[in-house]
Amino acid sequence: MFERSDPKITSTQAAIFLTNTVLGAGILTLPRSVTESAKTPDAWISVLLGGGIIMLVIVLMVKLSQQFPGKTVYQYSRQIAGSIPGSFLSMLLIVYFIVIAGFEIRVFAEITMFFLLEGTPIWAIVIPFIWVGGYLVFGGINSIARVYQIIFPVSIFVLLLCYFFSGRLFDLNHLRPLLGDGIMPVLRGLKSTILVYTGCEVVMTITAFMQHPQQAVKAMLTGIGIPMVLYLITVVMSIGGLSVDSVITSTWPTIDLIRSFEISGFFFERLEFPLLVIWMMQMFCNFCSFFFNASLGISQLFKLKMAPIIFGLMPFIFLATMVPVRINDVFAIGDAIGKMGIGIFFLLPVLLSLILIVRRKGLKQNV
Amino acid sequence: MYRHRLFLTFLAAALLLAETGCWSSNEIEDLSMYTALTMDTGQPSQVEQTFEKEGGSYFKDNKITVTIEIVPKQSYENSNKTADTGAKAHNYVNISETGDSVLEILRQFAIRLDHPVIGHHLKVIVISKQLLQEQRIQDLMDFVLRDNDIRPSCLILMSEGRAADILKTKYGDEIPAFHIRGMTRNRFRNNRIMKGIITSELDALMYAKKTFVLQNIVEANQEVEFSGGGVIKGDTGKWIGNLDQQDIESIAWIKGEVKGGTLKTYNPDHKTVTYEIKSAKSKISAKMNKDHQPVFHVNIESEGRLIETWKNPGLSSKKEYLEKLQEIFEERLAAMIQSLMQKMQSDYKVDVAGFGDRLAVEEPQEWKKLKDHWDETFSRTPVTFDIKLKITDFGSFIE
């Protein structure tokens, strides 16, 4: 009973899988990127609105995947669009996942080198991370989902604890006026919130692994709802605690928020260290999701075994991590990923759904 | 099988090689933590001048003198030993260096001290008034905002005299930085203490080019006192004038930040009467008048206790007397606030009591137009006050 050999996950595991895929480095820079473009304290509305849009996107992705039970996007894209275009779209998705995997590790490494392990060479942080990630990915979807189930409550608890204590800096006036400049700043902020939801494309693969695919919509909406709420709390607490002007000028606003107070007498006086250490596990989950999805894609696309692909991908992920030279390049890649995410959205779920509808309804084909 | 296991055992044992500890760890005993940092106008100390004579100089301009207060590892041993002999040795060491880059100066300590200095435990930064007249605060604080050791929770103060003098104490084993930090926690007893500006707030104020007040600290005979505040003009980032203790109180009243303290005045017989503040609230409301100029109204309400009254015999704690006193206290508070308004609107032409912030909340569109030259606009803005103090009791003594 406790051993399962079939690669299936429960609905709860699927929800946590999505949460842990989306929730990662973004939370540390989100308050800045969104207030930079919104320039008003209404940035939190952008996060809510962005989350709402992403939820619709996810429903579309799930509905599409549910048409092909047990098949991932890499398999059904060829069925829908034909072998070559389908493979091309899958390749795009794979490259996209590798780039995000590299980006996540890079952000993680930058923060670790700046705040935690000053003087540690970047490869000493990145390479073990990739190796351990590889080990987890070897275990397949079941092992990954179980690790996520263990890490998820711990990291969320620590994060919420930090925000709870940051309440002492909170000033409601920093969040006012509400919609002082109208709705435009909120819409401007919207484009920065897209980046923090990138990675939700994994929905198109995890649905295939679900034991009860009919519950997929509910599970995936829960899975994206959790990061959405956490992002909202992050932006509200950062702006409320530091004010818009301070958030804009801070490279890592969320960490600066936690660094702006000390709790004498508590178990930890400085909460940024427990937060960073715990968040490291969260970023590990994040990275493993993309690693897994990229290797799964290659495996299904070229009908190869997983093991050699996992090894084969490691150097590519390492390269993707090391390509940016400066921190500006890292953030530029972050922006590029956001734009790629939008492109991927139109090319995969939207285009595939359209083709599917045309072929099924219009041409009455049996796809 | 046996061989295979042996091999694995060796492999596992090889892992021990990696267990030598953290990659680039520093033992805490080998570090010098500084708890306070002060900045003064560049005046090389006696020691530095001698060093320079001996050829110890480098490519620099003597613009600032940075003094740090190091809490050395030996402090614990020292305090124990001196307790026996009765002689009091200090638990800290102050060291100064002059130059024109804060980080370069801090790194320069490495060629004078045996341990590297680290800023993880920096509690207060004190900048002297004279330096704030010469340099922009943005430039002085730039390093502090960028550094990864120094926390954004660090408190920023201004000193009337030389800032390095603040870092002295005559109370034996006390550490001045902790003393100052402790003083700011006394706000519930005295509203002449400001809430204090920490580095992350300073960051926002400087970015928004807002004018603000830094708590001023004065030193006499190795003792320190908070004494009003220094006004730092937003657009220039330089000191333009001082506010006294009473003005700091008035700002707290206007902003509704009064947490306790007293209000003292004289009754018609010129005898002392003191009001102990139990609670205080304030609300600034902003409006635009017909000519599109902002108008403010401040509503202050407070409840308190008549805690001290020196009086001629015959007067009683009757209701009429209390009401009379209430009026006297209200007049006193109104006079204090008027004096602050006079300084803000006529003398310095700045807004440091949160009027602009309020306008930004209530009239965001108008604020957008006014914010770039807000200080000037504010000096022409009418502000009205409505002050209500209520004496609710008179302590445990009744006549």
pLDDT digits (tens, 9 = 90+) for A14-49: 999 999 999 888 888 899 989 988 888 888 999 999
Residue B307's pLDDT is: 87
Amino acid at B363: E
Residue B132's pLDDT is: 93
Question: DSSP secondary structure string, A290-324?
Answer: HHHHHHHHHHHHHT--HHHHHHHHHHHHHHHHHS-
- Tell me, yes or no, whether A225 lies in a domain: yes
Q: CB–CB of A177 and B357 under 8 A?
A: no
Residues of B in contact with A181 (CB under 8 A): 364-365, 368
Pairing of strands B155-159, B212-220: parallel
Residue A194's pLDDT is: 79
Residue B88's pLDDT is: 56
- Tell me, yes or no, whether A155 lies in a domain: yes
**Average model confidence (pLDDT) for chain B?**
86
Residue B23's pLDDT is: 62
Residue A116's pLDDT is: 84
Interface test with chain B among A132, A186, A243, A248, by most B beta carbons within 10 Å = A243
Full residue range of the structural domain in which residue A75 is found: 11-356
Residue B399's pLDDT is: 66
> Å from A236 to nearest chain B CA?
16
> Å from A127 to nearest chain B CA?
15
> Å from A224 to nearest chain B CA?
32
Report, as an integer, the average pLDDT of A78-86: 87
Q: CB–CB of A245 and B151 under 8 A?
A: no
The beta-carbon neighbor of B204 closest among A114, A176, A246 is: A246
Number of domains forming the structure of chain A: 1
pLDDT digits (tens, 9 = 90+) for B176-199: 999 999 999 898 999 899 988 999
**Average model confidence (pLDDT) for chain A?**
89
Q: CB–CB of B24 and A176 under 8 A?
A: no
Residue A189's pLDDT is: 86
C-alpha–C-alpha distance, residues B304 and B276, integer Å: 5
Domain assignments of chain B as residue spans, ordered by start? 27-243, 245-399
Report, as an integer, the average pLDDT of A245-260: 90
- Tell me, yes or no, whether A362 lies in a domain: no
Residues of B in contact with A243 (CB under 8 A): 201, 204
The beta-carbon neighbor of A262 closest among B23, B153, B357 is: B153
Q: CB–CB of B361 and A124 under 8 A?
A: no
The beta-carbon neighbor of B152 closest among A117, A120, A256 is: A256
Interface test with chain B among A35, A172, A174, A245, by most B beta carbons within 10 Å = A245
pLDDT bracket for residue B29 (50, 70, 90):
confident
> Å from A2 to nearest chain B CA?
29
Interface test with chain B among A40, A259, A271, by most B beta carbons within 10 Å = A259
Identify the CATH assignment for B245-399 out of 3.20.20.150, 3.40.50.1820, 3.30.300.210, 3.40.640.10.
3.30.300.210
pLDDT at A5 over 80: no
By the 8 A CB rule, do B159 and B129 touch?
Answer: yes
pLDDT at B363 over 70: yes
Search chain B and give the residue with CA nearest A246.
B204
- Which of A286, A285, A309, A360 is closest to A74 using CA atoms? A309
- Phi and psi at residue A310, to the nearest 5°: -60, -45
Helical pair A327-345 and A83-111, crossing angle rounded to 10 deg: 150
Interface test with chain A among B203, B363, B368, by most A beta carbons within 10 Å = B203
Per DSSP, the three-state class of B130 is: helix
Stated pTM of the model: 0.86
Question: DSSP secondary structure string, B324-390?
Answer: HHHHHHHHHHHHHHHHHHHIIIIIS----SSHHHHHHHH-HHHHHHHGGGHHHHHTT--EEEEEEEE
Which percentage of chain A shows pLDDT scores above 70?
A: 98
- Tell me, yes or no, whether A2 lies in a domain: no
Residue A310's pLDDT is: 93
Which helix (H) or strand (E) element contains residue A46?
Answer: helix A43-66
pLDDT, greater one: B140 or B2: B140
**Most confident of the ranges A183-197, B15-29, B137-151:** B137-151
By the 8 A CB rule, do A219 and A235 touch?
Answer: no
> Å from A34 to nearest chain B CA?
17
Q: What is the CATH number of the domain that holds A294?
A: 1.20.1740.10
pLDDT bracket for residue B6 (50, 70, 90):
confident
